[in-house]
């Protein structure tokens, strides 16, 4: 008896892209991975020729929708990394802005660069006729505003809020008080 194996259409699409560029020594198509939202998927296309990268960047569809599932294609150039350029852009944008604690470049286990704009852990609030707030204020975090203003995770740059313990306070530090004995 023959057994049929059915795959989701986003796997089939990734195989089409891989087949298109499989024999090109300058292009590597990565495997599919599930996005953090648990619903969507993505895969990377690494281009080692900057001229080819620029051409693909202009014409390659970066998002393919399959019903209620989106497949995201991340295109990056090993020689002239857009992640590095994007990190430099955010460093220029937020230079001397006290709302930003740091902008970090981190390499994951696959060798992919990720940029993180790390905002200070503070609440931003302004009067906005917000009827959901008793004082009619809008209240939120800088990272959420940045996600609305900029394309979050575009070119590998993410927005986040610093951990309040990064100021030298650590849960496991020796300076922490020992728990007191229970009262009898």
* pLDDT band for position 66 (cuts 50, 70, 90): very high
Q: Quick one: three-class SS letters along 80-97?
A: CCHHHHHHHHHHHHCCCC
Domain regions of the chain by residue span: 9-77, 82-167
Kindly report, residue by residue over 111-167, the tens digit of the pLDDT.
Answer: 677 889 999 998 888 888 878 888 888 888 888 888 877 765 556 788 899 998 866
Closest CA to 145 of 117, 164, 165, 166: 117
SS3 label, residue 64? strand
* CB proximity list for 141: less than 8 A, separation 6 or greater: 119, 123, 124, 161
Q: Considering only residues 16 and 184, tell me which one the structure prediction assigns the higher pLDDT.
A: 16
Instruction: Return the ∠ at Cα 54 (arms to 84 and 85), rounded to 5°.
Output: 15
- Report yes or no on whether pTM surpasses 0.75: no
Is residue 179 scored above 60 in pLDDT? no
Q: Which residue has the tokens 């294609």?
A: 73
């Amino acid at each position: 008896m023959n057994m049929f194996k059915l795959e989701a259409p986003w796997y089939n699409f990734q195989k089409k892209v891989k087949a298109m560029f499989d024999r090109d020594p300058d292009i590597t198509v990565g495997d599919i991975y599930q996005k953090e939202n648990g619903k969507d998927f993505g895969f990377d296309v690494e281009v080692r020729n900057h001229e080819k990268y620029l051409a693909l960047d202009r014409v390659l569809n970066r998002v393919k929708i399959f019903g209620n599932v989106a497949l995201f294609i991340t295109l990056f150039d090993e020689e002239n990394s857009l992640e590095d350029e994007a990190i430099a852009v955010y460093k220029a944008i937020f230079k001397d802005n006290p709302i930003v604690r740091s902008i970090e470049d981190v390499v994951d286990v696959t060798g992919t660069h990720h940029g993180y704009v790390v905002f200070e852990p503070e609440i931003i609030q302004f009067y906005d006729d917000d009827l959901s707030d008793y004082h009619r204020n809008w209240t939120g975090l800088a990272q959420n505003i940045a996600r609305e203003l900029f394309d979050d995770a575009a070119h590998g740059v993410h927005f986040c809020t610093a951990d309040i313990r990064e100021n030298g306070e650590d849960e496991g530090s020796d300076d922490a008080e020992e728990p007191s004995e229970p009262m009898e």
